[in-house]
Structure 1
């Protein structure tokens, strides 16, 4: 009996450490001499909760036998009572687990049926069927998620019912996630919205003018106006963030995102979302005409083609960044904001390839040569980037987008430096431009003058940008006259804010005048030299006086150059007509009349000289009508007055038939001069009766 008491004490200590039910059953059997095969209750093929029920029944059977024994003691009865309490507790727990498994399986089966029902109808989309169907499907997914989370925490045999149910739940959840991916793509495609026509492809105006580096002649149409069309054609000051997906689809997309992220399928959601939106972006880029050029392609491209691509690039940059990507970012934020930085990473993923394409083209341009014809395009590109700077900083403000921000800023700096250098070296390009050994025909406005003046006239449209770029340029000029022009023309008449730009524009015109002076010396006729300079300086004054250049050059510059035009007109008259009119003057100051022979000879000599002037100078050109008529009137006044006086003095010596040209004839012929069409006087000498 002492041994029995020891066993009872050992059993109680064993119970206190909550031994497994199967061990408890074995202990009872061994203590009290019962024979039992534990293998009957531990078969792995028997579900856990059923095995526990068998063990409890066996334990109670042993305890019932002990109660019926004849050698019960108080200790035994107390021990059996304690055992009964433990068995009841274990039975209650086992029953609870049994109910949990049953409830889990029931709920899982219901969710499975909902998921499987749509797999058999894979041609019908859930969200197309209505909000009730979509809601029921999402509820089934929520149910599966809840079951998995609750059931995962249970401490049960992993080789039993527990593992089987978890595997079923994971499988059906995976199937549901796959279906949600399909629904996501379908919704994005079905409810995709296309941009308005004003945000579509770039169309170049037919009136666009392209500068080239050869300083060839351009049409007289205002290049400034053409440049304005170049810069603003197809552009609008209004840019809007638009809905790339119909608003009614946003709640659907958010519900799918929430379900997939809650199920740890956020990566799969993002990949499907990004790939679908990338496809939409690629389609839009095709509509915009965006092409991928290598640096080598850009550097080898003909200027006309390259200039067109630059204009398309400028248009595309604004539309893609300010409209499309801004709208795309809003879409990502609408769907993914609640998931932290996921939205930023996804947006960067969809936009980085497009931004790389645009920035690479700009970098290729920045690597090109410094040629005058590129300046306007460089300034356009720089202004586009400067205008978009805040947009880029806002789109990629997170650390994830820092690489794009940095590359954007660096490209703007590179283009600005190239534009500044090209502008500052434009004067050198004028000075080193090819000078033909032959003079410009007719003494008209040289193509170089037209090119340069229209060029700098257009530059005034970029005054603020140029001033910003060259403001830090050290201005050193050794020309005192130019410094005087700077002081009087700029500081008195124009805001000193634009002094750096104005200084360089004045320097360019100074270089142009030097080049024109050299070209004028190619003419052998001194009179034609003056006509050439008069024409070209007058053209310069016209361009300055009729444009924003007047604010850069000032009134003093205009007055000085108008005076130069008049001086060249006076010099022309002196060079041409002094020798001709000398034939009409009497060398003998005391004589008031000519002899008959002298009168005839002087008439003949004057007629020959006039005909020579007429023959050559009708081929000379003064394109400006007002300037031409002014010089014709001035010439006519001097010549006609001298000729009328001469004819009056000789009228008594010779008959009218000896006078080849009347005063009216001369006046008419003088107004044929400078029209650019050579003529000859075939005047038949007819004796008047």
Structure 2
């Protein structure tokens, strides 16, 4: 502790007394030794006092010098780092000198009213002014030297495919889109896309300012300046990505067409923001605060957290929205985007400081998964509850069949995701498979375990086709004509088989399912032939043509047979030309089968009995040749009603 002026006077007087006593000749050697030591100590205290006064003078001179440099910029409206680089360097050195002075003076036990205490208070004032200026300069350099990159220049695919928007959940006739949304399949490393968000030339300046502020215990002010400035930059980039700040209520009130567009923009923004912009932001934090761990991580988390939660908030709003079948593909797209980004988010936000973001991301993913499962079950229920009150015109392929098969075909694009989401949520076929099988197939089913070869998604796809078949069976009963019932079922099951055979669905249904359903539509074709033609072909048999008690053919009965056949064939022609078999191959196969049975029987009947009629009357009863009938059969199942009389 440095003696005060009063204390110095006392020391001088004491030293004078000690020296006077030392001249006494009567003192012993020990007493003389004690007085000499005391004189030495008093001399040392006097010398220290003189040195301390010199040191205070030096400190005061240095403080005044650096204060002048600091204060010279307070009246200057220009920014220091916009001026000569040497001036910026000198300013930073001056501030560091103030910091050292405060540390040096602060380490001493000073008298509150002493000169050193006054210098310490002065140094603190200068340091506070300098820190405020450095904070301003720090924010200015960050803001003025930020570098934004245009996302259009990055190799991210933007998916523009629109799924049909229908008022009804079951009304789509054509494919929902073979080119439906895909995940980004770029094989390039994401590190290649990291950008410099601030010009590299100013990084040493930013790091230098941060170092001085941290050493001066103004680390919170420095971090706050960084966080505030970079938050603005992140908000600006989200604006460039066309991401709006929307509340959950605003998203839920949005119509689907508008929301669909925003979802596509959101998915693209999520990929770019999470895999490019945030890693770039984290690198910037490391470049400026890298040696001040964990400050770099804290600054990154605080800078980016609100933007990330804003993006996740949109995903949560989607998960809370109504579950409608036409929205399932978008829900799956969003789920896959978030799921694919989980590793990136966990790498950016480790446990501890980033736990809030990690937890929110996993929670949103869980809600999206629940939404996907719920929407799929809504789809199944919609298929089951689709009730018709009038028969489908022409017995063609029903809109429901097209919708369901094209819908599940598109779902195969998401097989990995659906296998995960549907795995632990049970499966039960609403329509017993065995009830739709013949005994041979049922025995085959007993010898083969579905669970060993069919994925969870495969179970659910089979389930919904079973529901569809049951629904179609109910719709077929709306037809009064039993033959048309068989045509309707044949058309629809054939359509299902072709969709499975010629698409990725085959892997989920398997060849045995295809064989079973090939047998089904062929059985319906046979049932049609029986229902329509057995009674007609019976007219071309010889049974009942002989006269009673004689083996000769009755001409009267023969004429009635030809007449009845003509009427029956004309009736079939008139009605079944309006029936429709959309698939050309199926239509041709059925026509060939009819020709083999009907035309062959007609030729043989004609060959046996045509010459038994008088030539004058034969044209009245034999109206059509076999070739005529064969040509007429080609008009069947075109969906355009015709009449033989008009022809």
User: TM-score, normalising length from structure 2?
Assistant: 0.85
Higher relative contact order (CA 8 A, sep 6+): 2
* 2-structure distance, mates of 1:234, 1:468: 20
Q: Which digits, 9 at most, give the CA deviation of each residue in 1:359-409, with x for residues without a partner?
A: 333333333454433433333333333322222222221312222222222
- 1:136 deviates by 2.4
Going from structure 1 to structure 2, the CA distance change for 1:207 and 1:407 (only over 3 Å counts) comes to closer
1:239 aligned to 2:202?
A: no
- Which of 464, 468, 475 is the aligned partner of 2:416? 464
CA distance in 2, matches of 1:417, 1:300: 21
1:324 maps to what in 2?
Answer: 277
* 3-state SS, counterpart of residue 225 of structure 1: coil
SS at match of 1:364: helix
* Equivalent residue for 1:291, pick from 237, 244, 250: 244
Equivalence for 1:22: 6
The CA deviation string for residues 45-98 of structure 1, in whole angstroms up to 9 with x for no partner, is xxxxxxxxxxxxxx99x999x99xxxx85699x899889766754453333223
2:597 alignment partner, one of 638, 658, 670? 638
Deviations 1:424-443 (A, max 9, x none): 5644332222x121011111
Partner of 1:42: none
The whole-number CA distance in structure 2 between the counterparts of 1:168 and 1:560 is 95
Q: Does structure 1 residue 449 correspond to structure 2 residue 401?
A: yes
Please name the residue that 1:520 is paired with. 476
Q: Counterpart in 2 of 1:268?
A: 221
Tell me the residue number matched to 2:294: 341
Cα deviation per residue 1:529-553 (whole Å; 9 max; x = unaligned)? Answer: 1111011000111111112222222
Q: How does 1:13-92 map onto structure 2 within 5 Å?
A: 21-23=5-7, 25=9, 88-92=43-47
SS at match of 1:122: coil
- Cα displacement (A) at 1:638: 2.7
Match status 1:501 vs 2:461: no
Residues 237-636 of structure 1 mapped to structure 2, 5 A cutoff: 238-240=189-191, 241-424=194-377, 426-433=379-386, 435-475=387-427, 479=432, 481=434, 496=452, 498-588=454-544, 602-636=561-595
Q: Relative to 1, partners in 2 of residues 1:496 and 1:547: Cα closer, same or farther, differing over 3 Å? A: farther
Distance 2:173 2:233 in 1: 43
| SS class of match (1:414) | helix
Paired residues of 2:60 and 2:119 also in contact (CA < 8 A):
yes
How high is the TM-score relative to the length of structure 1?
0.80
CA contact (8 A) 1:148 1:169 kept: yes
Deviation at 1:224, TM superposition (A): 5.8
Q: Does residue 214 in structure 1 map to residue 169 in structure 2? A: yes
In 1: Cα distance, 2:197 partner to 2:641 partner:
68
Mean alpha-carbon deviation: is it higher for 305-314 or for 596-605?
596-605
Residues 325-349 of structure 1 show CA distances to partners (whole Å, capped at 9, x for unaligned) of 2322222222223223222322222
8 Å contact 1:492–1:554 — kept in the other structure?
no
2:101 paired with 1:147: yes
Q: 1:487, CA displacement in angstroms?
A: 10
Assess if the C-alpha contact under 8 Å between 1:618 and 1:677 holds in 2. yes
Query: Quick one: structure 1 residues 584 and 678, their matched pair in 2 at CA, closer, same or farther if it must change by over 3 Å?
Result: same
User: What are the ranges of 5 or more consecutive residues in structure 1 without an aligned counterpart?
Assistant: 1-16, 32-58, 685-689
Moved more, 517-526 or 78-87: 78-87
Given that 2:546 and 2:553 are in contact with CA atoms closer than 8 Å, whether structure 1 keeps it comes out as no
Name which one, 1 or 2, has greater alpha-carbon Rg: 1
300-309 or 587-596: bigger deviation: 587-596
Q: Which moved more, 1:647-656 or 1:186-195?
A: 647-656
Instruction: Report the alpha carbon displacement of residue 682 of structure 1 after superposing the two structures with TM.
Output: 4.8
Of 557-566 and 662-671, the range deviating more from structure 2: 662-671
Change (3 A) 1:453 1:303: same
With over 3 angstroms needed to count, the CA separation of the structure-2 counterparts of 1:22 and 1:124, relative to structure 1, is closer
CA distance in 2, matches of 1:496, 1:133: 77
Relative distance call for 1:640 and 1:382 in structure 2 (3 A) is same
Aligned-pair CA distance for 1:134: 3.2
CA separation in 1, counterparts of 2:3 and 2:209?
Answer: 47
Q: Distance in 1 between matches of 2:2 and 2:114?
A: 22
User: Is the alpha carbon distance of 1:112 and 1:82 closer, same or farther for their aligned partners in structure 2, counting shifts above 3 Å?
Assistant: same
- Structure 1 residue aligned with 2:633, among 670, 683, 688? 670
Q: Deviations over 1:134-154 (max 9, x none)?
A: 332222222121122122334
Give 3-state SS (helix, strand or coil) of 1:531's partner.
helix
For residues 578 and 636 of structure 1, what CA distance do their matches in structure 2 show?
14
Question: Are residues 408 and 24 of structure 1, via their aligned partners in 2, closer, same or farther at CA, if it must alter by over 3 Å?
Answer: closer
SS in structure 2 opposite 1:459? helix
Rate the CA distance shift 1:561–1:155 in 2: closer, same or farther, 3 A: closer
